[in-house]
Amino acid sequence: MIQAIGLTSNARRKARPTVADLTFEVRQGEVTGLLGPAGSGKSTALRLLLGAEAGRGVTLVDGRPLHELAQPAREIGALLGDVPGHPRRTARGHLRMLCSAYGLPSGRAEEVLEVVGLDAVADERLEAYSLGMDRRLGFAVALLSQPRALVLDDPARGLLPREAAWVHELARRHAAAGGAVLLTGREAGALARTADRVIAMDKGRIVAEEAASEFARTRLRPYVAVRSPYAQRLAELLRGDGAEVVAASGSRIAVYGTTSAAVGETAYRHGILLHQLADSPEQRPASGGTGDGSGRAPGDAGTEGEGERPRLRRTVVRTPRRIGHRPGPVRPVGYEMRRAYGVRTPWPTVAAALLCSLLATALLVRTGTAGTSPLRLLSGWAPELPLPAAAVGAGLLGALSYGQEFRYPALAPGYGPEPRSLRLLAAKLAVGALTAALLAAAATAADLAALHLLAGHGRAPDPAAHPAALAVWTGLAVACSWAGVLAAALFRTTALGFCAVLAVPLLVVPGVRALLGGQEATELADAGDALWSVLSGASQDGGGRVSAVLRFAGQPLVLGLALVLLALAGAYAASTLRGRRQERRSTALQTGQTAPLTGKKG
C-alpha cells in the first residue's frame, strides 16, 4: 500500500503552491482514480509522490519512506507521459538498456513486449511509433521491474477508444493480480468505471474522496446548469418545488431531479434573469469540473463531499537533515554500452574522425614529412590543426554520452536510478576511455597505411619503435574524451561539452603558453626528468621513453588539458553536492511511526 501524506509543492515567487497538503492512500488490489480538470495539480501530485519534483511531504510504501527503499523502481512503476527514448533506438533496445539499469536479465524485455502487444514491432524505431504504440511502450517500461504498484498519469489521454479501453483493462488486471494502481484522468465516467475509489482534485486540493460506485451514483447524474445574478433566490424556490440544488459558485448552481424547462418556467414566473440554462450530463463541477471546488455533494450541500475525507491524527512532519543519494544503474557499464551503441550516432562520428585523420595525413605528406615528430605522423596531426582529428572525435563521443543522457532521460531521478550518480559517471569515463583508445588505434593504422601509400615505406615510422609517442597519443585522445564527458555532465548539453574540448587548444593553451614561456616549460620538463631520475635511479642524461613522456607532459597542450580536467571535475563535484542538498527527498515522520489513514467508513 502507498500512503501520501501532506504532499505540497514549492511555491514560486510568492504564488500559492500548485498542490497543497494532499493526503491519500493507494490500496493493494484496488485502482485509485485521481480526477480533475487540466491544471488541477494531478501530474504535480504524482511527481511529488515519486520524489521526482521538489516539495514537502512523505510517501510511504508499506509503512517505509520511499527514499529509504534500496530500489524504489522495483516497488513502483510509473508512466508520466511519453517515453523519453532516443527516436532512433528500437523498443527492444530501449528495454534491454533499462534491464541493465535495473539489474534484470535481458529476457525480461521480451516478456513485457509480449504483455503489451509490441513483440511484432519491437525492432522498429521509436520515431515510427504512433501515440498508442508509444503508450504501450510506456506501460512496458513501467512493468519492466515487476513492480507491485503502478502510477499512471492520464495514460488514456489522446488515445482512440479501443486503445483507451486497453489501457484501463491493463490497470484492472494489475489490481486484480494483487497490485496497487494510481490512475489520473479528466473523464469522470471512464475513471469511475475503472477505479475502485475516486479522489477528486480542484485547484491543487482534494475536494472529495469516495467509492467509485457512490461517486457514479451521486456525481454522474444529469443536472441542469444555471447561471444567474439571483442564483441564491432561484435555488430557494427550486428547493421548495422538491429539486436538489448544489451551489457551484456565486452565480452558478447545479439543479438535480428536474428539467431545464421546469427551471426556466420557475424563473419566468418569479421574474428572475437567467444568463445560462442548459442540460448537462457531465460531472458536477464541485468534484473536479469547473466549479470552485467546494466539495459539497448532491443531497447534502455541506457534509458529504468532506465527510469521506480521511481523518488523520496530528503528525509533525520535518525535512530530514541527511538523506542518502539515490544510486545509479545496477550494471552501469552494460547500461552505458547499450545506451551509446544502441543507436547509429557514434558510427558516423567515428567515420568522420577517421576520414579527417586521413586528410590530415595527406596534408602532412604534401608539406613534407622530414623533421616531423613521430607523434604527429602516428596521429595524423598536421601543424595547421589544433588537435588530431581522432582526438576531436573522441571528445565529441564523450560529450554525446551525457548530452544524450539529459536530452533523452531514460533514467528516472527520484524513484529510479540516478543519472548523475558517481558509478554512472565512472562507467561513462571507462567506456569513453576505451572508445578513445580504440579510435586512436584505428586512426594510427589508417594514417600509417596512408603514409605507406603516399610517401613510401621508408617515410612511415615504426609504431614498435616509438612506444612513448603511442602512449602520449592514446593519453591525448582519452583526455579529450574525458573533457567532453565532464563538460556535458556539468552543462547538460552535447554542444557545450564539445565546445569545452575545442576550447582547450583555442583558448586555454594560448593562456598557458603566455603564462609559461619557453624557458619555464623547459625547466618544468627538466624538473620532471630529474624527479624520475631520483625515483628510478636512471641517468637523467640517458633519455628513454619515460623522459620523452615527461618532456611532452610539460607542453602547454598537456598542461591545458590537465587544468581543464581538474576544473571540470571540481565543478561537477561542487554542482552534484549542491544539487543533493537542494533536491527534494520525502520527509521523515518526527514520531518515527506510520500515520494511519482512517476515514468514517474505515
Whether 595 shows a pLDDT value over 70: the answer reads no
User: Which pLDDT value is given to residue 601?
Assistant: 38
- pTM (2 d.p.): 0.77
Q: Give the tens place of pLDDT for each residue, 530-569.
A: 544 544 454 545 455 555 555 566 577 888 899 999 999 9
Whether 435 shows a pLDDT value over 80: the answer reads yes
* Domains, the chain, ordered by start: 2-218 (3.40.50.300), 221-282 (3.30.70.980), 332-580 (no CATH)
Nearest to 207 by CA among 424, 435, 35: 35
User: If DSSP codes are grouped into helix, strand and coil, which group holds residue 22?
Assistant: strand
Residues in the chain: 602
Q: Identity (one letter) of the amino acid at 12? A: R
Lowest mean pLDDT among 490-499, 535-544, 590-599: 590-599
Whether 447 shows a pLDDT value over 70: the answer reads yes
Q: Helix, strand, coil: what percent of the chain each, to 5?
A: 50, 15, 35
Residue pair 9/53 in contact by the 8 Å Cβ criterion? yes
Q: Which three cell numbers stand for residue 346?
A: 557514434
Give the position of cell 539499469: 101
User: Which pLDDT value is given to residue 515?
Assistant: 75
More confident residue, 417 or 473: 473
Alpha-carbon torsion angle 518, 519, 523, 526, nearest 10:
60
Nearest to 171 by CA among 139, 199, 214: 139
Whether 314 shows a pLDDT value over 60: the answer reads no
Q: Give the tens place of pLDDT for each residue, 57-93.
A: 999 999 999 888 888 888 999 999 899 999 999 999 9
Banded pLDDT at 477 (limits 50, 70, 90):
very high
Q: Give the tens place of pLDDT for each residue, 110-162.
A: 999 999 999 999 999 999 999 999 999 999 999 999 999 999 999 999 999 99
Lowest mean pLDDT among 151-165, 274-288, 335-349, 396-410: 274-288
**Residue 302: which residues within 8 A CB-CB, separation 6 or more?**
296
Banded pLDDT at 522 (limits 50, 70, 90):
low
User: Which pLDDT value is given to residue 578?
Assistant: 74
Banded pLDDT at 55 (limits 50, 70, 90):
confident
Whether 593 shows a pLDDT value over 90: the answer reads no
Residue pair 80/153 in contact by the 8 Å Cβ criterion? yes
- 13 torsion bin: left (phi>0), alpha (psi -120 to 50), beta (else): left
Nearest to 93 by CA among 141, 135, 142, 151: 141
Q: Work out whether strand 55-61 and strand 2-9 pair parallel, antiparallel, or are unpaired.
A: antiparallel
User: Which pLDDT value is given to residue 440?
Assistant: 96
Nearest to 553 by CA among 439, 476, 461: 476
User: Which pLDDT value is given to residue 321?
Assistant: 30
Residue pair 323/348 in contact by the 8 Å Cβ criterion? no
Q: Work out whether strand 252-256 and strand 223-227 pair parallel, antiparallel, or are unpaired.
A: antiparallel
Q: Identify the DSSP state of 382.
A: -
More confident residue, 8 or 12: 8
Give the DSSP per-residue string, 40-62. SSHHHHHHHHHT-S-EEEEEEET
Residue pair 260/277 in contact by the 8 Å Cβ criterion? yes
Q: Give the tens place of pLDDT for each residue, 246-265.
A: 877 678 888 888 889 999 99
Whether 399 shows a pLDDT value over 50: the answer reads yes
User: Which pLDDT value is given to residue 511?
Assistant: 82
Whether 284 shows a pLDDT value over 50: the answer reads no
User: Which pLDDT value is given to residue 579?
Assistant: 63
User: Which pLDDT value is given to residue 547?
Assistant: 57
**Residue 301: which residues within 8 A CB-CB, separation 6 or more?**
245, 246, 247
Mean pLDDT for the chain overall: 82
Q: CA-to-CA distance for 4 and 367, rounded, in angstroms?
A: 72
Q: Give the tens place of pLDDT for each residue, 190-238.
A: 888 899 999 999 889 998 898 988 887 777 778 888 999 999 999 999 9
